[in-house]
Amino acid sequence: MNKTGYFTHPDCRRHEMGPGHPECPERLDAIEDRLLASGVGDALDRREAPEASTEIIELAHSKMLVNAIRGLQMELAEHIAAGGRGYAQIDPDTAMNPSSWSAVLHACGAVLAATDAVIAGEVQNAFCAVRPPGHHACRDRSMGFCIFNQVAVGALYALERHGLKRVAVVDFDVHHGNGTEDILAGDERVLMVGIFQHPFYPGTGSRPLGDNMVNIPVPAYTKGDRIRQMIEEQWLPRLEAFKPEMIFISAGFDAHRDDDLGQLGLVEADYTWMTERIKEIAAKYSNGRIVSSLEGGYNLGALARSVEAHVRSLADL
Ligand SMILES: [Zn+2]
């Protein structure tokens, strides 16, 4: 058993937020095409994600938020059934179409099913090719292309329902994972390590909200060699000391130098390098258990190549 699971669902592709929106369904097509063309897809244990229950989503989110999002989806469905058009707007950047509720339930369900499969030893690790992304979604608020925070849901599920004692969250998206920090700061069962462009959207992260947050804000135009050095100095010793029983990755690829939504200078080899370091920690302390979930990444070519590099490393190819 050393396979990498690949969890996705067709409804994650059906969620869309309007013409020209960078967080678009074609992101998943680009990833699928690349994995297929490169042959990496052949090595993966491909599974269809189930829906998460709202009960499990409420490990990370308030009932108020879950009910508000479900209510928005129902209003939109009525509006469309009556011949209306358009989207239900959550914030200026974030909207729902008629498939969004199902998409986000399956996005969370992918991470939960991946967690089950990894803990059961059916697969060594897993990548969840899901939309919408999740790491900006706070306990009480959806924002920044994100509705529910699948990585925070997964981490709390591993702790609460699988009885793990320590889980780590690694976030290498170009944007600070403010939602994950909001949900997990101060929870000493969790260590979160992140690196992100700063100052930048959403403006948070320079002052961590808890001792269990290792935030590395970096200025625009920082390149991979410097980022690797900071990861070696700041993430790895904390991860070593924490000895996580499982590692979740908020895998955003918008810190790639070709991605116009951010101004950092990572390339595919940097994603391979980061994944290798995470795998080393996981091999030492976590029985190899890693669940990675797609966050950002908006240049379709760079996204697809970076996901290939990340998954190739996860799968030891
Ligand atoms: Zn991002």
- Percent of the chain clearing pLDDT 90 (strictly above): 99
Distance in Å, CA 280 to ligand 1 centroid: 25
Distance in Å, CA 137 to ligand 1 centroid: 12
d(CA 165, CA 225): 33
Q: What is the pLDDT of residues 28-79, one digit of tens each?
A: 999 999 999 999 999 999 999 999 999 999 999 999 999 999 999 999 999 9
CATH of residue 95 = 3.40.800.20
| Domains in the chain, number | 1
In the structure, ligand 1 is a single-atom ion and the residues with CB under 5 Å from it are 173, 175, 252, 254, 296
Distance in Å, CA 317 to ligand 1 centroid: 27
Distance in Å, CA 254 to ligand 1 centroid: 6
Distance in Å, CA 122 to ligand 1 centroid: 30
Burial class of residue 86 (count of CB atoms within 10 Å of its CB; 0-12, 13-18, 19+): exposed
Asked whether the beta carbons of 117 and 128 are under 8 A apart, the reply is no
Distance in Å, CA 201 to ligand 1 centroid: 9
pLDDT band, residue 281 (cuts 50/70/90): very high
Domain that holds residue 175: 4-314
Q: How far is CA 257 from CA 95, 132, 146, 277, 300, in A?
A: 27, 22, 23, 21, 13
Distance in Å, CA 172 to ligand 1 centroid: 9
d(CA 15, CA 132): 7
User: What's the mean pLDDT in 21-25?
Assistant: 98
**Stated pTM of the model:** 0.98
Distance in Å, CA 110 to ligand 1 centroid: 20
Q: What is the pLDDT of residues 153-205, one digit of tens each?
A: 999 999 999 999 999 999 999 999 999 999 999 999 999 999 999 999 999 99
d(CA 146, CA 226): 29
Distance in Å, CA 7 to ligand 1 centroid: 20
